[in-house]
Amino acid sequence: MTSLSGSGITVDVPGGWEGKIYTRPAPPSPPPSPGNPRATAVPSETTAAVLHVASFAMPPETGDYGGGAVELMKNTDLLVILFEHGRSSANTPLFSATGVPRLTADDVSPVQLQRIIDGQGGVQRFFTAAGRAFCLYVVFGSYARRVRTIPVVNEILASIRIS
């Protein structure tokens, strides 16, 4: 395992897997316009941190929720994603669960995917950790193999530390 850290997130990446942590750029401030001559920068909380851990090589243009990569997954592949939402979302009803969740095979569904791909399964959970709001999104290359692969996912989830 290799430890990966960035943006206040640390995770242990299994040997032979790929991982990255990055932040999305803050949206640009609106320029002054005739209808709004005094447009000013909207205070940004922080940029959103995104974590990807995959059992396969992800293309460089992989989207935040795995777009461009999930289409390449084989039935043995797994993709674990953490996507940070604004701190103002922390502890709201959607993000009321605390701490990085653990999953069961019953949590996985073929219809909990951003994009439904035949044979795949996924799970999405929202939570707050260290005063930060996150969406956990996991894609299983094979819904049928989820019982076998859920322990691997939970090992990765158990290694995540957020500050």
d(CA 118, CA 140): 11
39 located within any domain: no
Nearest CA-CA partner of 18 in 51, 60, 70, 53: 53
pLDDT for the residue 115? 86
| pLDDT value, residue 126 | 98
> Is there a domain that residue 27 lies in?
no
Report which residue type is found at 110.
P
Instruction: Work out how many domains the chain is built from and give that number.
Output: 1
Residue 109 CA: distances (Å) to CA of 31, 53, 67, 95, 131: 44, 20, 18, 20, 29
Q: 87-129, pLDDT tens digit by residue? A: 899 999 999 999 999 999 999 999 989 889 999 999 999 999 9
What per-residue confidence (pLDDT) applies to 86? 87
How far does Cα 28 stand from its chain's mean position?
23
Task: Tell me which residue range forms the domain holding 10.
Answer: 2-22+45-162
Q: What angle do CA 68, 150, 64 make, to 5 degrees?
A: 25
The CATH number of residue 61's host domain is: 2.60.120
In a domain? residue 37: no
Closest CA to 122 of 100, 90, 161, 153: 153
Q: Please give the DSSP secondary-structure letter assigned to residue 119.
A: T
For 41-91, how does the pLDDT look when each residue is reduced to its tens digit (9 = 90+)?
A: 444 445 789 999 999 999 999 999 999 999 999 999 999 999 999 889 999
